[in-house]
Structure 1
Amino acid sequence: MTITHEDELEGLREIGRIVADTLHTMGRALEPGMTTAELDAIGAEILEREGAVSAPQRTYGFPGATCISMGEVIAHGIPGAQVIRAGTLVNIDVSASRNGFFADTGASFRVGAVPASLNRLCTDGRKACQIGVAQVRAGRPLGAIGSAIGRFASKRGYTLIRNLASHGTGRALHEYPEEIPTWPTRDRRAITDGLVLTVEPFLSRGGLWAEDGGDGWSLLATPRAPCVQYEHTVVATRGKPVVVTLAG
């Protein structure tokens, strides 16, 4: 989607706030002993109350309102009977639509105390997303996003999952410019004024690729390694990018 009118930006901001509030409420509710289905129910209730519709559920028939990934699962985890345990990381990905506008956000959360290496991975994962967002400006190549994230990851000793990309969004969950690499490439496609896209690097301590987890949805890192994801929906301008997925 390309924003051309102020009312479009307002519609996008509104659904962006909804998914951000949903994500942060779910993150605050996280506690050892609850199941991922119970956590998903919290998100589903907020979306329904706000008049929003789960995008993966509506678009792809995903068996949950949100994607909740933990353990070896790095993305698209199905909410269910899995019990959340202390000392682990849980990734929550929330995308939804309202009044024809879509927004997508996500974050990895610590459950209780985690090892120092995972603390550092979370801190740096959030930073990697911020670095990518800072590259979103009209006139720059899309490849600038992955190049900046790649430099940061390499300097800090991390790898990036290279087949889970950012994407265009706004009027659909996934739309032009389709896959946007968050790792170094020679992608010279231009970022245009008003373009709506996500920035969502998957930062890992050794993982390079995402592979099918065997249930048709869940994805695992190959080689197996801890991985975090932080995601925002962003509108490109000729100046500072507009991040619409900020909690109200």
Structure 2
Amino acid sequence: MTINHEDELDTLKEIGRIVANTMQTMAREMEPGMTTGELDEIGRALLEREGAVSAPKSTYDFPGATCISVNEEIAHGIPGGRVIAAGDLVNIDVSASKNGVFADTGATFRVPAVRPSQDRLCRDGRRAMQIGIAQVRDGRPLSGIGQAIGAFAAAKGYTLIRNLASHGIGRSLHEYPTEVATWPNRDRRRINRGLVLTVEPFLSRGGIWATGGKDGWTLYSEPAAPCVQYEHTVVATDRGAIVVTMPG
């Protein structure tokens, strides 16, 4: 999607606020002993109350309103009977549509008590996303996102999952530009003013690829290693990026 009018931006900001508020509320309500299914039900009810439609459910018939991935699960975890425990790393990914416009956000949260190494990984994962967002500007190459994130990851001794990419979004959950790499790459496409896309690096302590499990949805790190993901939906301008997935 390319934003051409202020009312389009307002519509995008509305669904961006909804998914951000939903994710943050789920994170606040999360506690040891709760199942991922119970956490997902909180998200489903919040989206429904706002008149929003779960994007993974409507687009892919995903068996949940949100994606909740715990520890060894790095993406697309199916909410269900898994019990959240103290010390877990829990990724909550919320995407939805309203009035025909989609937004997508995600973050990895720590369930106290956590180890210092988990704190560092989460802090650096969020920083990697912010570094990628800083490259979003009219006229710049899309490859700049992955080049900047890759330099940061290498300097800190991390790896990046190389088959889970950022993507265009707006009129659908995944659209042009598809497969926006968040690792070093040679993408020759350029960012245009008004372009709507996600920035969502998967930062790991050794993982390189995402591999599928038996349920057909959940993805795991290969080699097995801790991994975090942080994601915003942004709009490119000639002054930088507007982050639309902000709570409010």
Question: Would you say the 8 A contact 1:141–1:189 is kept in 2?
Answer: yes
The amino acid across from 1:237 in the alignment is T
Query: How many Å apart are 1:240 and its aligned residue?
Result: 2.2
Distance 1:188 1:138 in 2: 14
The residue aligned with 1:133 is 133
Deviations along 1:16-56, one digit per CA (max 9) or x if unpaired, are: 00000000000111100000000000000000000000000
Query: What are the superposed Cα offsets for residues 56-80 of structure 1, whole Å, 9 maximum, x if unpaired?
Result: 0000000000000002110000000
The one-letter code matched in structure 1 to 2:87 is G
Cα distance between partner residues in 2 of 1:19 and 1:183: 26
Residue 92 (structure 2) pairs with residue 102 (structure 1): no
Answer whether contact 1:66 1:94 (CA < 8 A) is retained: yes
List per-residue Cα deviations over 1:112-136 (Å, max 9, x = no partner).
Answer: 1111111100000000000000100
Aligned to 2:47: 47
The number of residue pairs the alignment matches comes to: 248
- CA offsets, 1:169-224, max 9 Å, x none? 01100000111000000111000000000000000000000001111000000000
**Structure 1 vs Structure 2 CA RMSD:** 0.4
The question of whether the paired residues in 1 share the 8 Å contact of 2:138 and 2:240 is answered with no
The letter for the 2-side match of 1:189 is: R
Check conservation: 2:196, 2:234, Cα contact below 8 A: yes
Q: How does 1:112-127 map to 2 (within 5 A)?
A: 112-127=112-127
Q: TM-score scaled by structure 1?
A: 0.99
Amino acid at match of 1:27: A
**What's the counterpart of residue 15 of structure 2?**
15
For 2:33 and 2:168, locate their aligned partners in 1 and report how far apart those are by CA, in whole Å.
Answer: 36
Aligned to 2:208: 208
Q: Distance in 2 between matches of 1:18 and 1:188?
A: 33
Other-structure match for 2:68: 68
Q: Which runs of 5+ in 2 are unaligned?
A: none
Structure 1 residues without counterparts, runs of 5 or longer = none
Distance 1:203 1:71 in 2: 13
Query: Equivalents in 2 of 1:15, 1:203: separation in Å?
Result: 26
Residue 88 of structure 1 is matched in structure 2 by: 88
Inter-partner Cα distance in structure 2 for 1:43 and 1:113: 24
Name the structure 2 match of 1:190.
Answer: 190
Equivalent residues of 2:96, 2:103 under 8 A apart: yes
Tell me the amino acid that sits aligned with residue 132 of structure 1: G
Give the whole-Å Cα distance in 2 for the aligned partners of 1:240 and 1:143: 16
> What letter is aligned with 1:231?
E
Q: How does 1:217-236 map to 2 (within 5 A)?
A: 217-236=217-236
Q: CA deviation at 1:138?
A: 0.6
In 1, the alpha carbon distance for the partners of 2:58 and 2:38 equals 20
Contact 1:104 1:231 in 2 (8 A): yes
1:103-182 matches, cutoff 5 A: 103-182=103-182
d(CA) in 2 for partners of 1:168, 1:240 = 17
Q: Distance in 2 between matches of 1:30 and 1:110?
A: 10
Deviant stretches of 4+, over 3 Å? none
Q: Give SS of 1:241's match.
A: strand
1:102 alignment partner, SS class: strand
